[in-house]
Amino acid sequence: MDQLPASYLAPDIVLSARNVVKSYGNTHALKGVNFDIHRGKVTTLFGENGAGKSTLMKILSGVISPTSGAITLDGKPIHFANSTDARDHGISIIHQELSLAPNLSVRDNIFMGREIMTPTGVNFAEEARQAQSLMEELEEEIDPLTPVEELRLGQQQIVEIARALSVDSRILIMDEPTSALSASEVEVLFKVIRDLTGRGVSIVYISHHLEEALQITDYAVVLRDGNITATADAKDIDLEWIVRNMVGENFDLGSPPTGYDFGEVALSIRDVSVAGALAGTFVVDHLSLDVRAGEIVCIYGLMGAGRTELLECIAGRVPKIGGQIMLEGHEVSRLTIAQRIAEGLALVPEDRQRDGLVQTMSVGENLSLASITNFVRGLFLSTGLERNLIQQSIKAVTVKTSGGDAPIGSLSGGNQQKVVIGKMLATNPRVIILDEPSRGIDVGAKAEVFKLLAERAKTGLAVVYSTSEVGECLSIAHRIIVMSRGKIAAEFSADATKEEIMAASGEAVVA
Amino acid sequence: MSNSSQTLQRSRSGLFSDGFDIGQMLLKGRAFFALIAIIAVFSFLSPYYFSASNFLTMASHVAIYAILAMGMLLVILNGGIDLSVGSTLGLSGIIAGFLMQGVTLKALGVTLYPSVWVVVVLSCALGAVVGLVNGVLIARFRVPAFVATLGVMYVVRGIALLITNGLTYNNLSGQADLGNTGFNWLGFNRLFNIPIGVLVMILIGIIGSLVLNRTAFGRWLYASGGNERAAELSGVPTKRVQIMVYMLSGICAAVAGLILSSQLTSAGPTAGTSYELTAIAAVVIGGAALTGGRGNIRGTLLGAFVIGFLSDGLVIIGISSYWQTVFTGGVIVLAVLLNAVQYKKRAKPAPKASPQQTGKPA
């Protein structure tokens, strides 16, 4: 780089990356990326999973070094030795995965590694005071002395954000900061972001919630397959533009499958409750629901509405209080998870890393895990039968992989999710329950997953899925159930509007 | 047509992964190369080391550790640990010795002399019971494996001491007229010139490999060790698997105890003290992850041979037992260190960017 491009000297660019390449062996995560962060503005990076967003952010925050390329900060070339070095230059990052110590208090987490010291030790009073004011800024009623493990997920994310705010950085990178936040919390966060940009802080924002990101951003940058495909001023673009540049084509999450009649009631829940954390409270409150064979039901609700608890209770993970769970007319609530799977009731859990996949096993071993007893001939497994199933599954759920022997970690998030779904479909269920099947996967994979479910529904499978994105309610579902505080707040048919659904969930409609 | 292209792709990807595996094997084959190096060095240092008879003698020592280690492998694959195997080994020998002396039933005024196969079965059953206690404590009552098996280790050792009042059974050969001879067969006899202990080790190794690779139980074990929550939600009976591995580990320990007391022609209540640590070391040298889900029988056997051939080699060349301890410890640390280096390499495959590439002015 002997001649600097003009934009290096542009006053409103605080940090810029030029021709950044990052290679892992033969795979190129970034293929010569030019990226600018505008001073005092929000720059949003859009892209599917595996497009290279996180890699680029890790390079900008000093977590990893680029294979080649240049980074300039305030017009001067710079090289970050590590993330502490980057932080000393005023760049901090809120990672997608929470990095809190659950046993420590909010205060201790915020000041972890940067304790305010006095000659006699840590100045806990001052730390608590600052933590308190950060909580007030974020409009969250959390006592700084509360252990983080006692907070719900959304509040933990708030703590993570507070920690990044406490550093006083010039550039703040937010990688999926709102994945666990409620709509009102997102609004507060956006207010804080506006406040920060007003003070000259530059924000880099990454989110799978495209509409939400579009509200806050000033500049949009789209990354696809390690290349920047489009850059634009936010006022010139719309959702469709982003999606078109992200996936390279128009996308459609599908519509409810038609042309057949629903069968008998496959799953019937009667008056079921699940106990809450506090004695006498219910996270699922005397709820009843019927799902017929071939029907697709979407359960929409905010974080904490009780969706996950309801679904895990049906699958046998969480004990219920009272009521009945009937599968094709048989009571299943006394059965273990394994027995329920054998009866035809399968759950695809919300957190695929924690509950869905065995990371030490191959793609094929993960796919066959739930149906493994079907391949036992005499004492031993029939490898031929198992291999057949694995190949069928890979084809049926369209997993992009080099083969069944590939490690599960080599797959992108969307393909991993397909493996989890394929694993449960291999048990030939009558009812499949999916908890946030689209969480953390890109639009393309989302559409494929929904298409797959719609096809299975046509063959008589009853499908129940939950989501926290209203756009996903209005895709393949025949019926939309809105949950709020453990109860069914409303029920809609497929022709409902987003506004109706959001209003019923108790969510303020973000204009 | 699409079928044949599918198989073609399949076989190609199979070839690919085979080629990949050779590279991996060189990396993963550390235990194997260490064993070769140990054999080479000691063969050079001592004329007695490199001979079939010495290898068989050493192998029969290794068999004890290897059998313990294979049981331990199952537990470690499950993400647990079993500290009680050394004590179980001791108690198994003591029970065998106790039964060989004859059981007097005072009420009936008779003394029963069970035949050797009965003794073997009862000892193994005892090992399974100890394992069952471990398994139930861990799976049902959620006691951490380390603590549960530590407690059981003390209790079992105490019971062994109580039975003999601290003494050793020296007469294990039985009497022909009582029909309970043959216990020495385990430790001294040979089939096809191979010690019975080694054959038992090989047999357990084959069964273990089949169980791990070719049964639903094996798959369940790898799955619940890799991610217990995911396994449970996939319908794996994780608690049953957990209890089973501790029972199998207990049975392996009991078998090892029988072979050891037969080899020594005596059963002492302190036999097998600290053997659990040797077994863990063998599993770790064999490349298994203490976090569960990764490891295999082949590696564990290699690990046991590395430890056994090293310590016997040091005895043969006449190095003091204190130094032996130091060497063995060094090998264990080195093995784990290499594991860490390997995993680090895999985690960061990209070469580091050189400073001039990042655009610093020269």
**What are A366-395's pLDDT values in tens digits?**
999 998 888 888 888 888 888 889 988 888
Angle, in degrees to the nearest 10, between helices B116-139 and B238-264: 140
Q: Which chain B residue lies closest to A372 (C-alpha atoms)?
A: B216
> Which candidate from B230, B359, B360 shows the least CB-CB separation from A357?
B230
Residue A240, by phi and psi: left (phi above 0), alpha (psi -120 to 50) or beta? Answer: alpha
With contact defined as beta carbons under 8 Å apart, do B277 and B84 qualify? Answer: no
pLDDT of residue B24: 58
Angle, in degrees to the nearest 10, between helices B297-316 and B196-214: 150
pLDDT digits (tens, 9 = 90+) for B310-350: 888 888 888 888 888 888 888 878 877 777 766 555 443 33
pLDDT of residue A43: 92
Average the pLDDT over A469-480 and give the result.
Answer: 84
pLDDT of residue B23: 53
pLDDT at B187 over 60: yes
pLDDT at A2 over 50: no
Residue A323, by phi and psi: left (phi above 0), alpha (psi -120 to 50) or beta? Answer: left
A390 touches chain B (CB under 8 A): no
pLDDT of residue B4: 39
Query: How much is the CA Rg of chain A, to the nearest whole Å?
Result: 24
Q: Which A positions 368-387 lie with beta carbon below 8 A of chain B?
A: 368-370, 372-373, 375-376, 379-381, 383
A279 DSSP 8-state letter = T
Question: How far separated are the first and last CA of chain A, in Å rounded?
Answer: 46
- The chain-wide mean pLDDT, for chain B, equals 82
Percent of chain A exceeding pLDDT 90 equals 15
Mutate which of B12, B233, B240, B358 to disrupt the A interface (most A C-beta within 10 Å)?
B233
pLDDT at A9 over 70: no
pLDDT of residue A142: 86
Element housing A219 (H / E): strand A219-224
B170 touches chain A (CB under 8 A): no
pLDDT at B215 over 70: yes
Average the pLDDT over A477-496 and give the result.
Answer: 87
Mutate which of A55, A312, A358, A371 to disrupt the B interface (most B C-beta within 10 Å)?
A358
Among A38-52, B96-110, B256-270, where is mean pLDDT lowest? Answer: B96-110
pLDDT of residue B167: 83
pLDDT of residue A506: 64
What distance in Å separates the CA atoms of residue A414 and residue A289, rounded to the nearest whole number? Answer: 29
**The pairing of beta strand A479-484 with beta strand A487-493:** antiparallel
pTM of the full predicted structure? 0.75
∠A272-A273-A276 over CA atoms, to 5°?
A: 165
Average the pLDDT over B23-51 and give the result.
Answer: 79
Question: Could you tell me how many helices (H) and strands (E) chain A has, helices first?
Answer: 16, 24
State whether B14 and A342 contact (CB < 8 Å): no
pLDDT at B3 over 70: no
pLDDT at A248 over 90: no
pLDDT at B5 over 50: no
Q: Which SS3 state, helix, strand or coil, does residue A38 take?
A: strand
* pLDDT band of B17, cuts 50, 70, 90: very low
B301 touches chain A (CB under 8 A): no
- A470-475 long-range contacts, CB within 8 A, separation 24+: A470/A300, A470/A498, A470/A501, A470/A502, A471/A211, A471/A253, A471/A498, A472/A253, A472/A298, A472/A438, A472/A446, A473/A298, A473/A300, A473/A498, A473/A501, A474/A253, A474/A498, A474/A501, A475/A253, A475/A254, A475/A255, A475/A450
pLDDT of residue A50: 63
- The chain-wide mean pLDDT, for chain A, equals 84
A65 touches chain B (CB under 8 A): yes
β-partners of residue B333 are none
Which residues on chain B are in Cβ contact (under 8 Å) with A315? 233
Burial letters A58-70, b for 16+ CB under 10 A, else e: bbbbbbbbbbbbb
Residue A105, by phi and psi: left (phi above 0), alpha (psi -120 to 50) or beta? Answer: beta
Among A18-22, A216-220, A500-504, B98-102, where is mean pLDDT lowest? Answer: A500-504
pLDDT digits (tens, 9 = 90+) for A306-332: 888 899 999 988 888 888 899 988 899
Strands (E), B88-237: 103-105, 110-112, 190-191, 194-195
With contact defined as beta carbons under 8 Å apart, do B89 and B260 qualify? Answer: yes
- What was the ipTM of the complex prediction? 0.77
pLDDT of residue B10: 38
Average the pLDDT over B103-123 and give the result.
Answer: 80
Please name the residue that has the structure tokens 């004590």: B87
β-partners of residue A467 are A300
State whether A356 and B233 contact (CB < 8 Å): yes
Which residues on chain A are in Cβ contact (under 8 Å) with B229? 354-355
Nearest to A433 by CA among A313, A335, A318: A313
Amino acid making up residue B11? S
pLDDT digits (tens, 9 = 90+) for A329-372: 889 988 999 999 999 999 999 888 888 899 889 899 999 999 88
Amino acid making up residue B177? D
pLDDT digits (tens, 9 = 90+) for B280-313: 999 988 888 888 888 899 989 999 999 889 888 8
> Which candidate from B17, B215, B223 shows the least CB-CB separation from A369?
B223
What distance in Å separates the CA atoms of residue A47 and residue A53, rounded to the nearest whole number? Answer: 7
Among A1-10, A154-163, B69-78, B291-300, where is mean pLDDT lowest? Answer: A1-10
Average the pLDDT over A53-72 and give the result.
Answer: 87
Sheet holding A171-175: strands in order across?
A91-94, A171-175, A202-206, A42-46, A219-224, A227-233
pLDDT digits (tens, 9 = 90+) for A87-127: 888 888 887 777 888 888 999 888 888 888 888 888 888 88
Q: Which chain B residue lies closest to A380 (C-alpha atoms)?
A: B215
State whether B357 and A369 contact (CB < 8 Å): no
pLDDT at B362 over 80: no
pLDDT at A489 over 80: yes
With contact defined as beta carbons under 8 Å apart, do A68 and B352 qualify? Answer: no
From B220's Cα to the closest Cα of chain A, the distance in A is 8
State whether B353 and A66 contact (CB < 8 Å): yes
* pLDDT band of A303, cuts 50, 70, 90: low
From A100's Cα to the closest Cα of chain B, the distance in A is 22
From B228's Cα to the closest Cα of chain A, the distance in A is 8
From B291's Cα to the closest Cα of chain A, the distance in A is 10
3-state helix, strand, coil in chain A (%, to 5): 35, 25, 40
**Which range has highest mean pLDDT (A196-200, A205-209, A287-291, B353-357)?**
A287-291
> pLDDT: is A8 or B199 the higher one?
B199
β-partners of residue A44 are A205, A220
> pLDDT: is A214 or A441 the higher one?
A214
Which residues on chain A are in Cβ contact (under 8 Å) with B361? 77
Average the pLDDT over B133-157 and give the result.
Answer: 93
With contact defined as beta carbons under 8 Å apart, do A71 and A60 qualify? Answer: yes
What distance in Å separates the CA atoms of residue A307 and residue A309, rounded to the nearest whole number? Answer: 6
State whether A358 and B226 contact (CB < 8 Å): yes
Which residues on chain B are in Cβ contact (under 8 Å) with A28? none
Among A111-115, A471-475, B185-189, B246-250, where is mean pLDDT lowest? Answer: B185-189
pLDDT at A199 over 50: yes
A150 DSSP 8-state letter = G
